[in-house]
Amino acid sequence: MGKDKLKSKNIMTRDDLVAYLETVLSGLKQGTLILDNEERPLILRPSDSIEAELEIKQKSDKEKLELKLSWVPNKMQPLTPVATQLEAPILSSPPLGDEAKKK
């Protein structure tokens, strides 16, 4: 498998962000995250062991929280989009917005 990357930066309401993060959480619980990309879906298969990196910054005019998750793909989880789409939540385009950058 090649290297696929999708990066996005957006402004959204707190409620929209909560809904998006709940979809991510649901995918993590199920063991499959599907990101609806315009070209083809990106399917992530998190393993049971996940490295979590948290960075919090607070200034007088801005606060920031960054969460970075990484793992070795779970090879036991199927890669076929048809099979996984039936069970896994799909992270769709609205939260990724117009500023999405593909590399």
Look up residue 79 and give its amino acid.
L
pTM (two decimals) = 0.71
Maximal C-alpha separation, the chain: 48
Does residue 102 lie within any of the structural domains? no
Does residue 81 lie within any of the structural domains? yes
Helix (H, G, I), strand (E, B) or coil at 83: helix
Which residues constitute the domain of residue 69?
A: 10-95
Does residue 54 lie within any of the structural domains? yes
Does residue 73 lie within any of the structural domains? yes
Give yes or no for a contact between 55 and 65, defined as CB atoms under 8 angstroms apart: yes
Only one residue has tokens 């917005």, namely 97
Task: Give the residue-averaged pLDDT of 39-67.
Answer: 93
Report whether pLDDT(40) > 70: yes
Does residue 80 lie within any of the structural domains? yes
Q: Burial letters for 37-74: b for 16+ Cβ neighbours within 10 Å, e otherwise?
A: eeeeebbbbbeeeeeeeeeeeeeeeeeeeeeeeeeeee
Lowest mean pLDDT among 33-37, 63-67, 92-96, 97-101: 97-101
pLDDT digits (tens, 9 = 90+) for 68-88: 999 999 877 665 554 444 566
Give the pLDDT band (50/70/90) at residue 4: confident
Does residue 3 lie within any of the structural domains? no
